[in-house]
Structure 1
């Protein structure tokens, strides 16, 4: 057989070339045809007592493991186990070595199975405990991992690798427990805030509604004003609808104690250019009127100096009347803004005739 020029191939390629030579093969192929050399070696591999055969496969597996060729090493250890040696120490070694291969290959369930078998043979197998603990750590089964380490250290007190693993896993366990506790605390706090917010909605007679197709993603949600330390003031997102032109604006943070006039003055100052959609230049502060609609379709005219809190009170039902209030749909309030005069009167007529619907 001719080998490639050493300068042109890597070490791994050189080893692979040797593997194709029967004399140097680490494993023998099942389908070797009429190759007499391979046939002879195949027979030799299975000659001797079960212990001798298993020891031979173990030695070959060790060679591959040292070269970090874990899959090949695993195959040899498996052949050693399948040879059914009678020596318990040899059985234990093969199982522990195979577990070491599976640990490198991240086959953690197989590691646990082999280590369990090894411990049945030798309850004081430190390698089996260490590899079990390593697999359990990788699976984040920290309590079981620590139990393995503790069992091993009861008789192998000075085992440095197990001691180091135990310390590392104890730190991981504590960190995980801290994260879980923080997550639980956050969930509990969010639940309390949600309940507090719902109680505040009820106090304001808000009718919470959701879209039939589910709540759309909305970056603006009602929340308590962080500047109010008493936690009594709510900030709402609010739509201002302009039905005359089928368009709208959103006030992302409408503090409920802020008067509507402050937003209108900021959005439609007299000296500023009209919005592109305002064809007739009618939407100017001082010439506009705002309406709110309740759940039971009562129409409320919003005075300039009124705040959201004032509108909430105005929308509440009178004593003895059916429940009513402003609708909070998908977390947003909705108001209609119109120019005073003919447009306003036409819209009110449409609303009364049931032709207007809030989207």
Structure 2
């Protein structure tokens, strides 16, 4: 009886003579295994598989597109990739911002441009133009879009807190408060950002409003203490500087 011996699978001929570094670079160009964005094919061309996936990201309704980007942002945030997460949340916001009645098949804008649009007021606030979802949209659809984009603003604010982009935090929270003036998270994140750049009065106001909404919230209470401590410290520094300046001008040197 003839017997067959199992053959041991060796490396693919293409990779037989490649070192580990080169092999990992090739693997990283496969979208499923990417650990960092590589838009090339390693030979001077473009990464067609990646481009196809990026195109798919903009297929579907505005709500579906934005929801997809939001989920990618959540995944990055859980891995503490805050910069990438903030970009995905920006793309989610921009997906709704770009939802006008005239859908251009070739706009010439890349994904980064769309994310940047959500950072500006050039086209109006996405929270103020939810009616762009169309004349036949019902109240439920508009409310879903508004809730989604509000969440993305808040999430991006959380990312920018981690990245110390404090003015962006304040801007994003301001957009939320325009339509949800009782949003405690927006007040809390605004207060933290204001404290970080020594806008003490504004930070105190945000905490006060937050405590009006949630009197037992320990986060607001702890933040109020930090604000008071920072205010005392800044006052002492100011007094010391004033005293030092007075001594410099009025003490007669012998």
TM-score range, shorter chain: 0.5 to 0.7
- 1:328 corresponds in structure 2 to none
Output the CA distance in 1 between the equivalents of 2:245 and 2:180.
47
1:180 to partner: Cα distance: 0.9
**TM-superposition CA deviations, 1:119-173 (whole Å, max 9, x none):** 1121122222122111111111111111111111111222222221121111110
Contact 1:54 1:81 in 2 (8 A): yes
By percentage of residues, which structure has more strand? 1
- 2:54 corresponds in structure 1 to 42
Output the CA distance in 1 between the equivalents of 2:49 and 2:152.
28
1:73 has 2:77 as partner: no
Q: Which secondary structure state, in structure 1, belongs to the residue aligned with residue 213 of structure 2?
A: coil
**Closer, same or farther in 2 for the Cα pair 1:137/1:17, shift >3 Å?**
farther
Output the CA distance in 2 between the equivalents of 1:121 and 1:24.
40
- 2:32 corresponds in structure 1 to 23
Contact 1:27 1:76 in 2 (8 A): no
Output the CA distance in 2 between the equivalents of 1:73 and 1:39.
20
1:137 has 2:201 as partner: no
Largest Rg, 1 or 2: 1
Alignment TM-score, normalising by the size of structure 2: 0.63
Please report the RMSD computed on the Cα atoms of aligned residues, expressed in angstroms: 3.2
Give ranges in structure 1 of 5+ residues lacking alignment: 198-221, 224-359
**TM-superposition CA deviations, 1:179-223 (whole Å, max 9, x none):** 212322343344343xxx4xxxxxxxxxxxxxxxxxxxxxxxx33
Contact 1:130 1:148 in 2 (8 A): yes
- Please give the residue correspondences for 1:138-157 in structure 2 after superposition, counting only pairs within 5 Å: 138-157=196-215
By percentage of residues, which structure has more helix? 2
**Closer, same or farther in 2 for the Cα pair 1:50/1:29, shift >3 Å?**
farther
**Closer, same or farther in 2 for the Cα pair 1:27/1:153, shift >3 Å?**
farther
Q: Which secondary structure state, in structure 2, belongs to the residue aligned with residue 84 of structure 1?
A: helix
Output the CA distance in 2 between the equivalents of 1:17 and 1:68.
25
The partner residue of 2:232 within 158, 170, 174 is 174
After TM superposition, which residue ranges in structure 1, 4 or more long, deviate above 6 angstroms? 26-34
1:30 to partner: Cα distance: 7.0
- 1:105 corresponds in structure 2 to 163
Give ranges in structure 2 of 5+ residues lacking alignment: 1-10, 98-129, 131-144
Alignment TM-score, normalising by the size of structure 1: 0.46
Output the CA distance in 2 between the equivalents of 1:49 and 1:26.
28
Alignment: residue pair count:
187
**Closer, same or farther in 2 for the Cα pair 1:185/1:157, shift >3 Å?**
same
**Closer, same or farther in 2 for the Cα pair 1:40/1:138, shift >3 Å?**
same
Q: Which secondary structure state, in structure 2, belongs to the residue aligned with residue 90 of structure 1?
A: helix
**TM-superposition CA deviations, 1:84-107 (whole Å, max 9, x none):** 174211111111111122221121
Output the CA distance in 2 between the equivalents of 1:158 and 1:61.
30
1:163 has 2:175 as partner: no
The partner residue of 1:116 within 174, 182, 187 is 174
**TM-superposition CA deviations, 1:12-51 (whole Å, max 9, x none):** xx9x997642235589777786655334422321122111
Q: Which moved more, 1:160-169 or 1:20-29?
A: 20-29
